[in-house]
Amino acid sequence: MTRTIEELIPDYIRGLPVYVPGRPIEEVERELKIHAVKLASNENPLGPSPRAVEAASLALGNAHRYPDGGTHLLREALARRTGVSTEEIFVGLGSSEIIDLASRVLLRAGLEGMTSHGSYPPFSVAIRASGAELVLVPQRHFAFDLEAMGKAITPKTGVIYLANPNNPTGTAFGAEELDEFLEGVPDGVLVVLDEAYIHYAPSLNRRKSEESYRRRRNLLILRTFSKVYGLAGMRIGFAIGRAELLSAMNRLKTPFNTSGLAQAGALAALDDREHVTRCIATNAIERKRLSAGLSGLGLRPVPSETNFIFMEVGPEAKGICDELLQLGVIVRPLGWMGFPEALRISIGTAEENDKCLAAMAEILTKRAGKGELAAR
Ligand SMILES: *Cc1c(COP(=O)(O)O)cnc(C)c1O
């Protein structure tokens, strides 16, 4: 037999795009020899909950033991909070793992998975990695076009991924729109509703999607500890969904997907309401200030329901991101997410946002002087 190992890799995996993470601060500082701020990955600028840090530090003493593979304590706490049974909670290695597992369990060649253009790239990767066909529905005004998505459902559709609020555009749809959409989705199609940014959305109420789940059990709600709880580095998230589906995901996941440190940290972070409240309030204040500052520079940020700001700046978007980087401000160019003329800025602390605004002002002034970019 003359087959090589590489030939075993199927075309649908060979063709997958690589996830492009925000550049780490240390790397940029080493390369440019400047102090940098990272506003590129929608991390919590106020850090982790201090109670989570304490709980995880204590758990470190048990690092020689395998963690609780069934994540019992955390699932019980989450079930109490969300009003479902513990069998309806799945804890994953970040929501990332659950996004992947949903497609791996339900999709295969011959079926279709659907999401929107201009949404979170891991949705498309999960669908394509399952061997199913990816169906991308265009957006309207930087938001999910739920009506068009409903019309795109075929007998082959197995899973539909929604992010509410959406990354990278920062827009959200309301509970009524969701319910109307769910009405039109057949029982045999799973809707994955990724609510990573739900805490930050002034127009949304977390309880609403749980109520929708009680009515329509073909919904899988994803939440994460990576954003408002400030535990992105711990890698832990969870899903609310029907027990039969979660049980199949359990068979497929690696035996100890989340660490004992992450479980202890998450459990403590859940109870730290003070930290969560402070993070939401700070984000709201800074979101308003950063948006106003960018508008004041002639830019047009899309109104945000999240902890980041999306805006189209024209064909020079990548160049502007590079120049911001040279000035020590790491933001995210969005060509790889389907918006070659846009960039995304995570909302930082007041100091970080000031640095970002000053750098942006410097770049736009210089460019206007050269006549390269008419301020918009
Ligand atoms: C940040 C983010 C997540 C979080 O992923 P984790 O794996 O839990 O860190 C999930 N979905 C979206 C849309 C995000 O932007």
Dump pLDDT digits (tens) for 200-233.
998 887 778 999 999 999 999 999 999 999 999 9
Tell me: the pLDDT tens digits for 50-97? 999 999 999 999 999 999 999 999 999 999 999 999 999 999 999 999
Domains by residue range for the chain, with CATH? 5-47+274-369 (3.90.1150.10), 50-270 (3.40.640.10)
pLDDT per residue over 241-261, tens digit each? 999 999 999 999 999 999 999
Residue nearest to atom 6 of ligand 1 (CA): 94
Are 36 and 331 spatial neighbours (Cβ–Cβ below 8 Å)? no
| Cα–Cα distance measured from residue 258 to residue 262, given in angstroms and rounded to the nearest whole number | 6
pLDDT at 141 over 80: yes
Residue with tokens 């998505």: 149
- In this predicted structure, which of 14-28, 113-127, 136-150 has the lowest mean pLDDT? 14-28
pTM of the model: 0.95
pLDDT digits (tens, 9 = 90+) for 279-327: 999 999 999 999 999 999 999 999 999 999 999 999 999 999 999 999 9
The angle subtended at Cα 185 by Cα 179 and Cα 188, nearest 5°, is 130
> How far, in Å, is the centroid of ligand 1 from the Cα of 196?
6
Closest by Cα among 190, 245, 193, 197 to 221: 193
Cα 340-16-170 angle, rounded to 5 deg: 40
Alpha-carbon Rg for the chain in angstroms: 21
The predicted pLDDT at position 229 comes to 97
Higher pLDDT pick, 234 / 18: 234
To test ligand 1's pocket by mutation, which of 19, 161, 222, 227 has the most ligand atoms within 8 angstroms of CB? 227
Are the CB atoms for 77 and 368 separated by under 8 Å?
Answer: no
State the pLDDT at residue 202: 84
Does any ligand 1 atom lie closer than 6 A to the CB of residue 116? no
In this structure, the residue with its CA closest to atom 14 of ligand 1 is 196
The ligand 1 atom at the shortest distance from the C-alpha of residue 225 is 8
Residue 365 CA to ligand 1 centre (angstroms): 35
- Does residue 372 surpass a pLDDT of 50? yes
Q: Is 194 a pocket residue for ligand 1 (Cβ < 6 Å)?
A: yes
pLDDT (0 to 100) of residue 240:
98
pLDDT of residue 376: 47
From the CB of 258, is ligand 1 less than 6 Å away? no
What's the burial of 50, exposed, middle or buried (CB within 10 Å: 0-12/13-18/19+)?
Answer: middle
Average pLDDT, the chain: 95
Supply the pLDDT for residue 375: 46
Any ligand 1 atom below 6 A from CB of 40: no
Q: Alpha-carbon distance 72 to 53, whole Å?
A: 20
Please list the residues that pair with 73 across neighbouring strands. Answer: none
* Ligand 1 pocket: which of 43, 90, 95 to mutate (most atoms within 8 A of CB): 95
